[in-house]
Structure 1
Amino acid sequence: MEKAEQKQRHALFQTKCVIKERSCCMIIDGDSCNNLASSDMVEKLALSTKPHPHLYHIQSLNNSGKAKVTRLVRISFAIGSYHDVVECDVVPMQACHILLGRSWQFDMDCVHHARSN
């Protein structure tokens, strides 16, 4: 268990971002294959969604078990002076408002220097 916790500790980077002039919690997770947005955040910020082209189930990031992914949302966000737009699957989660996975890191050639940050 300790080895798994150590690996996870170095794979996660938590920060704040701004979406529609609101502060939101963001996690960058090098072990995740998905870009995810909280369904609560999408609803509260009245972000427009579209149907997901490839429906699938995901282990939910809260206590509700599996969740069916049926919607996509395009999110414009800022971290300090950095601005970006990302497409995320909309899921019920309580861990954060937006979770960016390996695909976003690869597309952006992103390195977050976990220990020094």
Structure 2
Amino acid sequence: MEKTEQNQRHALFQIQCVVKEYYCRMIIDGGSCNNLTISDISDMVKKFALSTKPHPHLYHIQWLNNTGKAKAKVTRLVRINFAIGSYHDVDECDVVPMQTCHILLGRSWHFDTDCVHLSRSN
């Protein structure tokens, strides 16, 4: 493999999507077990007027951020309609405080949609 292709093997697939006419950053991460959406200072859920519902299976999530380890209790779900170009989809995401993107789609979305996003050519 060329050096640039080798470097891409460890990069996440990042893309811009549209939710309720707002542009959002999305990461597609086949290594993530969950689909997540942001709930932080900008609070996408409130800003976009998305309605949430109680999460049926409460759990804690932990990851690294600029301040070290972050841990949050996941208590809410949100159903998000999004578009990537002409592709439209709806998915349920856990609401968590994160700073990397607005939406993170993980293995469950990959499995449900049986998607192919051609990492090399994209």
TM-score, normalised by the number of residues in structure 1: 0.88
SS in 2 for 1:43: helix
Equivalence for 2:10: 8
Q: Which residue of 2 aligns with 1:46?
A: 49
Q: Which has the larger radius of gyration?
A: 2
- 1:34 Cα deviation from its structure 2 partner: 0.2
Shift of 1:115: 1.2
Alignment of 1:63-102 (within 5 A): 63=67, 65-102=70-107
Q: How does 1:9-48 map to 2 (within 5 A)?
A: 9=11, 12-39=12-39, 40-48=43-51
Aligned residue number for residue 4 of structure 2? none
Task: Write out per-residue CA displacement over residues 89-113 of structure 1, whole angstroms, 9 at most, x where no aligned residue.
Answer: 0000000000000110111111111
Map Cα deviations across residues 26-67 of structure 1 (whole Å, 9 max, x no partner).
000010010000012112111100000000000146446110
Report the 3-state secondary structure (helix = DSSP H, G, I; strand = E; otherwise coil) of the residue aligned with 2:98: coil
Alignment correspondent of 2:116: 111
State the number of aligned residues. Answer: 111
Note the residue ranges of structure 1 that are not aligned, 5 or more in a row: none
The separation in 2 between residues aligned to 1:51 and 1:60, in whole angstroms, is 22
> Per residue, is there more helix in 1 or in 2?
1
Structure 1 stretch displaced more, 98-107 or 58-67? 58-67
Task: Write the distance in 1 (CA, Å) between the matches of 2:110 and 2:64.
Answer: 20
Could you state the TM-score of these two structures normalised by the residue count of structure 2?
0.85
**Runs ≥4 in structure 1, deviation > 6 angstroms?**
none
* Alpha-carbon distance between aligned partners in 2 of 1:26 and 1:70, rounded to the nearest angstrom: 22
1:25–1:97 contact (8 Å) kept in structure 2: yes
SS in structure 1 of the partner of residue 10 of structure 2: helix
What displacement does 1:8 show? 3.1
Root-mean-square deviation (CA, aligned residues, Å) is 1.6
Whether contact under 8 Å (2:8, 2:120) holds in the other structure is: no
Consecutive unaligned residues of structure 2, counting only runs of 5 or more, are 1-6
- Code of the residue aligned with 1:57 in structure 2: it is H
Distance verdict in 2 for CA 1:61–1:18, change over 3 Å: farther
